[in-house]
Amino acid sequence: MSEGSSEALVTDAGARDRLIAGAVSVLYKLLVYSTILFLMAPLVIVVVISFQEQGYGGWPPESWSLDWYLLLPQRVESLGLVQALGISLQVALSTVVVTVLVGGLAAFAIARYDFKYSTSLETLLLSPLIYPWLVTGFAILLVIGRLNTVYGLGIRMSFWTLLAGHVIVILPYPTRTILASLQNFDHTLEEAAQDLFATELTTYTKITLPLIKPGLVSGAIFAFILSFNQYIVSLFLSGSNTQTVPLRLFNLFYDSPPQQLAALGTVLMCSILVVVLLAERGFGISEYM
């Protein structure tokens, strides 16, 4: 084969490889953008419906209005959202405290100590991510029912059962973010502090905790948002006096205009988005997702 023919084959192969790489890149981008559109479309529709003037109407909206937002302050109490919001905040904040504390201690043990069952402990703590929340909530409900039947404990659905369910399903998120921050931590800084006669407690409070604060804050934010928006587990484990905001909104679905609920949902979405953006700007939580 002549030298010219060899160069032509190499050129054709390079052009074919570039064409395939370009096609793969286009398909990948198309898949990513299609997935984003699929996930965002329902949320965009909710926002659009919240500005629809008529109480019940078709799609697309024929006229636009801010009336549903202006009516919110007057209807929040009558819709029972004040009590539901209080319960959601109590459960979410309690979940944050418990999951960050337990997850932080577990992550510290896994990252710092090489013991026999460290991998098993990590797998156990992250295992709720594998199972659907529907299965987890139903399983917890069955366990509570079994304890009541066999041991006569008389456990009733209340704030505490709701909190227990939220902690179980949300614990993996703070554990993972804190573990990631500890694994990327420069341990020589602690050694330097101890060389300067700092005590172990002082080293942890002055060196370790400030440096892993982004992981702690990320885990706390994830825990709060997931707990506040949790519906499935709350459906199984909440009592008659412990309705959270998601449960209350679902119960209002058949009694309230869709535009009213869409306005409420838009306000909640915007509030959560503001919290996430502030956390990202202040702590860079995307690095621990």
CATH number for the domain that contains residue 233: 1.10.3720.10
Verify that 23 and 144 share a domain, yes or no: no
State the residue range of the domain holding 18.
1-50
- Claim to verify: residue 218 and residue 77 sit in the same structural domain: yes
Q: Is residue 257 pLDDT above 90, yes or no?
A: no
- Per-residue pLDDT reduced to its tens digit, 158-184: 899 999 999 999 999 999 888 888 877
- CA–CA distances in Å: residue 255 to residues 54, 101, 264: 16, 41, 14
The per-residue pLDDT for 171 is 93
Going by C-alpha positions, the residue among 168, 187, 194, 1 that lies closest to residue 99 is 168
Query: Nearest 5 degrees, angle CA 238-CA 242-CA 244?
Result: 85
What is the spatial distance between Cα 261 and Cα 249, in angstroms, rounded to a whole number?
A: 7
Position 242 pLDDT exceeds 90: no
Decide if 55 is inside a domain. Answer: no
Task: Please report whether residue 163 resides in a domain.
Answer: yes
35-80 tens-digit pLDDT: 989 988 888 888 888 888 776 656 677 778 888 888 888 877 777 7
Q: Looking at the structure, do residues 251 and 117 belong to the same domain, yes or no?
A: yes
60 in a structural domain: no
Global confidence as pTM: 0.81
Residues 26 and 85 in one domain: no
Mean pLDDT of 110-137: 83
Contacts of 154 (CB under 8 A, 6+ apart): 148
Give 211 or 88, the one with higher predicted confidence: 88
Q: Identify the CA nearest to 277 among candidates 287, 286, 289.
A: 286
Number of domains observed in the structure of the chain:
2
The amino acid at 85: L
The answer on 78 and 183 residing in a single domain is: yes
Q: What is the pLDDT of residue 182?
A: 82
> Are residues 110 and 215 part of one domain?
yes
